[in-house]
Structure 1
Amino acid sequence: MAFRSPLRRFDFFQKTVEDARIKTASGGLITLLSSGIILIVILLEWIQYRKVVVVPEIVVNPSHGERMEINFNVTFPKIPCQLLGVDVLDISGEFQQDVQHSVSKTRLSPDGEVISVDDLQPNSPENEDDPLNSTPEEQKCGDCYGAAAFSSSETPGCCNTCNAVREAYGRANWAIGDVDAFKQCQEENYKENYESQKVEGCNLAGQLFVNRMAGNFHIAPGRSSQKGMHHVHDTNDFSREKDLHDMSHIIHELSFGPPLDPSIATKNPLDNMVKKINSPDYRYEYFIKCVSHQFVFLKSNMETIDTNRYAVTEHERPIHGGREEKVPSHINVRGGVPGVWFHIDISPMRVIHRQFRGNTLGGFLTNVLSLLGGCVTLATFIDRGYYESKKMKKT
């Protein structure tokens, strides 16, 4: 008791006796209102504390020598699958010709209905015609008709299918002429199949894995090949049936990198893009600026996602040989190969999206305590003022 007595001088929280306290109806109403306000404010502060905000920052992209994934899904309503191929080129000189191992081709009827899907992977059990799936006793070596040196590396010097012969001739830059001159094409009824499919459409979908550098990938008719520094397509088959074909297309999807959850992703600029034209000799070009995006999540159990977003500029034009009555007068006619080209330019910057809480725990507690003190003090002033004003009226 002797120790406590000097501390009384520092007590700012002076107490009153119970008999000296006066309770009023107005004070009770103010207490209830201020309590409700305090609860609402605390709830709002809790929501703000639990809220996750994304703060972007830009840094120089530190990645070197990475591969980039391209996801695409494009439909050509008036070009059959047998005429279309997907090629990839970049500034390093890498050339991926007629990519098939990760691309599926869906044959479409003139009404847009699915006929069949050609998505056999190399060496898969379903691909019975692949010589690599045969036992050594079953393997055969078909004639390449002078182009054995240019045959596929999987079966050097052998052309066991009509496509293998055509590929060998394409690599040799030789004209194919009449395909019935090749036994493989006769056995596969290549001409009959072509005639039955020439009024069909085609959907191409899949993934491409490319170097993270400037380049392009394109979907164009005809067998492609490299002649020195030039990339060329043999469009003879396509040109023979020009009245049946045009370069109209629908881009259902085009994205770079792994897909993102819709809650954090925005729509890609070329998704659901529709282009219609009545000319087969037409070229569409999309110039894409690709920027690396990294998403760092608040929860430690969620992996960081590295993907890409892009902006695009479109350009379209007819080429030599186009039917002039179907070409707008304001567009200049120039040369080239008909098709759809996607030119990719890579930004050296990376955008990092980091998730943070809307507030820290310390900030949440500080705000709650200050709001409590402020509300109680304000309510005390209001109650005291109202009480004193009523007291003065009575006197």
Structure 2
Amino acid sequence: MDKVLNRLRNLDAYPKINEDFFNRTLSGGVITLVSSIIMLLLFFSEFRLYLHTVTETKLLVDTSRGGTLRIHFDVTFPAVRCSLLSLDAMDISGEQHLDIRHDIIKKRIDSLGNVIEARQDGIGAPKIETPLQRHGGRLGKDEKYCGSCYGAETADDDCCNSCEEVREAYRKKGWGMTNIDLIDQCKREGFVQKIKDEEGEGCNIHGSLEVNKVAGNFHFATGKSFHQSNFLQDLLAFQQDKYNISHRINRLAFGDFYPGVINPLDGVQWVQEAPNGMYQYFIKVVPTIYTDIRGRTINSNQFSVTEHFKSAEMGLYQSLPGVFFFYDLSPIKVTFKEEHASFLHFVTHICAIVGGVFTVAGIIDSFIYHGRRALKKKMEIGKFS
């Protein structure tokens, strides 16, 4: 047993010096105090970094297929009436959504930007309780009145009891409503008068839109859209010769919020100077997956954008007045993952701090100690000589 202990004693890499040979100095005490403070400060700095999370970023090929994309928007048009503003969407798969109203809220605003009225049902009015006329045969004793669709009926029993239902029937036929005053339902509901009452007003439109996860576009058009073979807008009879599509994008996001996301169009404002035209945003959407420190995952998107204004000649609507957002999906996705530095990494840094400061302090102390001894010897030799 004693032999084993002796061998272990011989392995000691830290031989001890007898206390009789210690020589404590004032400079050594000062260096020890300073180095201890430095080690303490560096320790707390490293400990704080260990407690904070770091974000690891990776680029991967996006192999996901199908799915949908949620678009959140909040756009203000200072010079476009809410009744003339519609939201349409279409994609390369051929799917179209015209005059979208679901999850959309419009706010009428005055010239100073104050909200006059907020509504979610667009310009449509409720059905007329007593429709004006019966079509498709004589009125029986127990039959209810049924409003005409003015030639847009698909069957004899089809009814259009509101201006909105007439407009919808025309849209399904691919027709345009060119004279609202001749539609009794619209006349009864005061549709045209409602448009006139909004003269000089602007509109704020916000909400969300769910589209297929393929390339496409959505746009805010000045005038109600109709489904026609050339996808142009058939504007209502009260259309203007000029539309001021000046706008401010308060918010535009593709997907849910995650920490650190930057949407480059938030707060962007554009003022129209040309008489008419369409403003285009070309957007490259990058799928993004964010995983926080607790392991919760958020599937969202980032995007980059370029802008272009396309002017239109008066009387021609090949360039439709409105604000268009053309988006395309990147084949590369980005992943952000929050994580702590490993404990072993933290211990390694602490050891490096302690060892490094201790070694440097020892070198400085040795330099000062031997320098003072050499200076003292030279003084003694000079004194004896």
In the superposition, the TM-score normalised over structure 1's length comes to 0.82
- Report the Cα distance in structure 2 between the residues aligned to 1:86 and 1:270, rounded to whole angstroms: 18
Corresponding position of 2:134 = none
Relative to structure 1, the CA distance from residue 305 to residue 139 in structure 2 (aligned partners, 3 Å threshold; closer, same or farther) is farther
Residue equivalent to 2:241: 242
> What is the RMSD of the two structures over their aligned residues, measured on CA atoms?
2.9
258, 261, 267: which one pairs with 1:260?
258
Residue aligning to 1:184? 185
Residues 1-395 of structure 1 mapped to structure 2, 5 A cutoff:
2-3=2-3, 4-120=5-121, 129=126, 141-149=146-154, 157-228=158-229, 230-237=230-237, 239=239, 241-242=240-241, 245-261=243-259, 264-266=260-262, 268-278=263-273, 281-300=276-295, 303-321=296-314, 335-357=318-340, 359-392=341-374, 393-394=376-377, 395=380
Tell me how many residue pairs correspond in the alignment. 362
CA contact (8 A) 1:286 1:341 kept: yes
Query: C-alpha distance in 2, partners of 1:41/1:110?
Result: 59
Deviation at 1:388, TM superposition (A): 3.6
* Equivalent AA in structure 2 for residue 57 of structure 1: K
Runs of 5+ consecutive residues of structure 2 not aligned to the other structure: 129-141, 381-385
Contact 1:57 1:352 in 2 (8 A): yes
SS of residue paired to 1:149: coil
* Greater alpha carbon shift after TM alignment, 291-300 vs 86-95: 291-300
Change (3 A) 1:209 1:141: farther
- The answer (yes or no) to whether the contact 1:287–1:314 under 8 Å persists in 2 is yes
User: Structure 1: which amino acid aligns with 2:324?
Assistant: W
Take 1:380 and 1:175, find their aligned partners in 2: how far apart are those partners? 91
Unmatched runs of 5 consecutive residues or more in structure 1? 122-126, 132-136, 323-332
Question: What's the CA shift for 1:178?
Answer: 3.3
CA distance in 1, matches of 2:200, 2:152: 31
The alpha-carbon deviation at position 210 of structure 1 amounts to 0.2
Could you tell me how far apart the structure 1 residues matched to 2:6 and 2:68 are? Answer: 78
Q: What whole-Å deviation, never above 9, does each CA across 1:308-329 have from its counterpart, x for those lacking one?
A: 111111111221316xxxxxxx
Identity score, percent: 36
Closer, same or farther: CA 140–81 of 1 in aligned 2, 3 Å = farther
Give the distance between the partners of 1:10 and 1:273, measured in 2 at CA: 72
Work out the CA distance in 1 between the residues paired with 2:342 and 2:189: 70
CA contact under 8 A between 2:284 and 2:330: conserved in structure 1? yes
Deviations 1:101-125 (A, max 9, x none): 111111122332211111149xxxx
Measured in 2, the distance between the counterparts of 1:14 and 1:148 equals: 104
**Displaced runs of 4+ in structure 1, greater than 6 A?**
137-140
Give secondary structure in 2 for the equivalent of 1:98: coil
Structure 1 residues 344 and 10: CA distance shift in structure 2, 3 A:
closer
State the Cα deviation string for residues 275-324 of structure 1 (Å, max 9, x = none).
22255531111111111111122223xx21111111111111221316xx
Alpha-carbon distance in 2 for matches of 1:150, 1:388: 110
Distance 1:15 1:7 in 2: 15
Distance 1:6 1:292, change over 3 A: closer
Deviation at 1:39, TM superposition (A): 1.4
Q: Secondary structure in 2 aligned to 1:28?
A: helix
SS for the counterpart of 1:223 is coil
Render the CA deviation track for 1:151-198: whole Å, top value 9, x for unaligned: 9xxxx8221211211222233233434323222112212222222123
Contact 1:291–1:309 (CA under 8 A) maintained in structure 2: yes
The answer (yes or no) to whether the contact 2:175–2:226 under 8 Å persists in 1 is: no
> CA contact under 8 A between 2:177 and 2:236: conserved in structure 1?
no
| CA shift in 2, pair 1:366/1:247, >3 Å | closer
Whole-angstrom CA distance in 2 between matches of 1:111 and 1:381? 73
- Cα displacement (A) at 1:204: 1.1
| Structure 1 contact 69–207 (Cα < 8 Å) conserved | yes
SS of corresponding position for 1:169: helix
Residue 139 (structure 2) aligns with = none
Corresponding residue SS for 1:376: helix
One-letter code of the match for 1:237?
A: A
C-alpha change, 1:199 and 1:260, in structure 2 (3 Å) is: same
Q: Higher mean Cα deviation, 70-79 or 313-322?
A: 313-322
Q: CA–CA distance in 1 between the matches of 2:206 and 2:50?
A: 44
Secondary structure in structure 1 of the residue aligned to 2:256? coil
Q: 1:16 & 1:273 partners in 2: Cα distance?
A: 74
CA drift at 1:384: 3.7
